[in-house]
Amino acid sequence: MIPFIDLAAQQARLKPRIDAAIQKVLAHGAYVMGPEVRLFEEQLAAFGRARFALSCANGTDALALPLLAWEIGAGDAVFCPSFTFAATPEVVPWTGATPVFVDILPDTCNLDPGHLEASIEAVKAQGRLRPAAVIAVDLFGQPADYPAIAKICRRHGLKLLADSAQGFGCTLGGEQPLSWADAAATSFFPAKPLGCYGDGGAVLTDDAALAERIDSLRVHGKATASDVNGRPLAHDPKYLNTRIGMNSRLDTLQAAILIEKLAIFGEEIEQRQRVARRYSEGLAGHVLQVPQVIEGGLSTWAQYVIEHRDRDGLAEHLKAGGVPTAVYYPVPMHRQAPYAGFPTGPGGLPVSEAKSATVLALPMHPYLAADVQDRIIEGVRGYNG
Ligand SMILES: *Cc1c(COP(=O)(O)O)cnc(C)c1O
Domain boundary (263, 290, 319) is at 263
Residue 273 contacts residue 291 (beta carbons within 8 Å): no
3-state secondary structure of 338: helix
The alpha-carbon radius of gyration of the chain (Å, integer) is: 21
| Residue 72 covered by a domain | yes
How much distance in Å is there from the Cα of 126 to the middle of ligand 1? 31
CB 158, CB 135: distance < 8 Å: no
- pLDDT bin (cut points 50, 70, 90) of residue 244 is very high
Q: Is the peptide bond before 279 cis (omega within 30 degrees of 0)?
A: no
Between CA 292 and CA 285 the distance in angstroms is: 13
Q: What is the largest CA-CA distance in the chain?
A: 75
Whether residue 197 is found in the same domain as residue 345: no
Same domain flag for 182 and 315: no
Residue 189 near residue 59 (C-beta atoms within 8 A): yes
Q: Do 100 and 178 lie in a common domain?
A: yes
pLDDT digit string (tens) for 267-283? 999 999 999 999 999 99
Residue 251 inside a domain? The answer is: yes
Using a 6 Å cutoff on CB, does residue 193 contact ligand 1?
Answer: no
In a domain, 1, yes or no: no
Given a contact cutoff of 8 angstroms between Cβ atoms, the answer to whether 132 and 291 are in contact is no
pLDDT number for residue 230: 80
Model-wide pTM > 0.95: yes
Residues 167/138, Cβ–Cβ less than 8 Å? yes
On whether residue 2 sits in a domain, the answer given is no
Confidence (pLDDT) at 232: 80
The tens digit of pLDDT for each residue in 125-176 reads: 999 999 999 999 999 999 999 999 999 999 999 999 999 999 999 999 999 9
- DSSP label at 103? -
Q: Which of 205, 233, 263 is the last residue of a domain?
A: 263
Nearest Cα neighbor of 107 from 324, 274, 299 is 299
The number of residues in the chain equals 385
Picking from 213, 247, 263, the residue at the C-terminal end of a domain is 263
pLDDT higher than threshold 80 for residue 235? no
Kindly state the DSSP code that residue 310 receives in the 8-state scheme: T
Atom of ligand 1 nearest to the CA of 84: 13
**For residue 329, is the peptide bond before it cis, meaning its omega torsion is within 30 degrees of 0?**
yes
Residues 69 and 212 in one domain: yes
Averaged over 363-379, what is the pLDDT?
A: 97
Does the pLDDT value for residue 385 go beyond 90?
no
pLDDT score, position 323:
97
303 with 359, same domain?
Answer: yes
DSSP percent split of the chain into helix, strand, coil, nearest 5: 45, 15, 40
**Is any atom of ligand 1 closer than 6 Å to the C-beta of 58?**
yes
Q: What is the pLDDT of residues 36-59, one digit of tens each?
A: 999 999 999 999 999 999 999 999
Q: Are 287 and 358 in contact (CB under 8 A)?
A: no
Q: Does residue 55 line the site of ligand 1, with CB under 6 A? A: no
Give phi and psi for 327, each to the nearest 5.
-110, 110
Looking at the structure, tell me whether residues 276 and 256 fall in a common domain: no
Distance CA 82, CA 137 (A): 10
Beta strands in 138-182 (DSSP E): 159-163, 171-172
Assess whether 224 and 122 both reside in one domain.
yes
Q: Is any ligand 1 atom within 6 A of the Cβ of residue 299?
A: no
Please write the tens of the pLDDT for every residue from 302-317: 999 999 999 999 999 9
Q: How far is the CA of 59 from the centre of ligand 1 (A)?
A: 5
Is the distance from the beta carbon of residue 60 to the nearest atom of ligand 1 less than 6 Å?
A: yes
Distance between CA 154 and CA 78 in Å, rounded?
Answer: 15
Q: Find the mean pLDDT for residues 249-253.
A: 98
Alpha helices in the chain (DSSP H): 7-28, 35-47, 59-69, 87-94, 113-126, 146-156, 208-217, 225-228, 252-263, 265-283, 311-320, 350-358, 370-381
Whose C-alpha lies nearest to ligand 1, atom 5?
Answer: 59
Backbone phi, psi, residue 110, to 5°: -105, 165
Verify whether ligand 1 is closer than 6 Å to residue 165 (CB atom). yes
Q: How far apart are the first and last CA of the chain?
A: 22
Same domain, 83 and 153: yes
Least Cα distance to 175 among 50, 16, 347 occurs for 50
329 lines ligand 1 (CB under 6 A): no
- Are residues 290 and 214 part of one domain? no
Q: How far apart are CA 2 and CA 55, in angstroms?
A: 33
Structural domain for 213, as ranges: 7-263
Q: How far is the CA of 227 from the centre of ligand 1 (A)?
A: 31
Count of beta carbons in the 10 Å neighbourhood of residue 375: 15
**Residue 357: Cβ within 10 Å count:** 13
In this structure, the answer to whether residues 233 and 287 fall within a common structural domain is: no
Into how many domains does the chain fold?
Answer: 2
Tell me, what's the pLDDT at 170?
A: 98
Probe residue for ligand 1, chosen from 80, 187, 248, 327 as the CB with the greatest number of ligand atoms within 8 Å: 187
Kindly state whether residues 135 and 254 are assigned to the same domain.
yes
Rounded to 10 deg, the angle between the 370-381 and 311-320 helix axes is 130
Same domain, residue pair 257 and 271: no
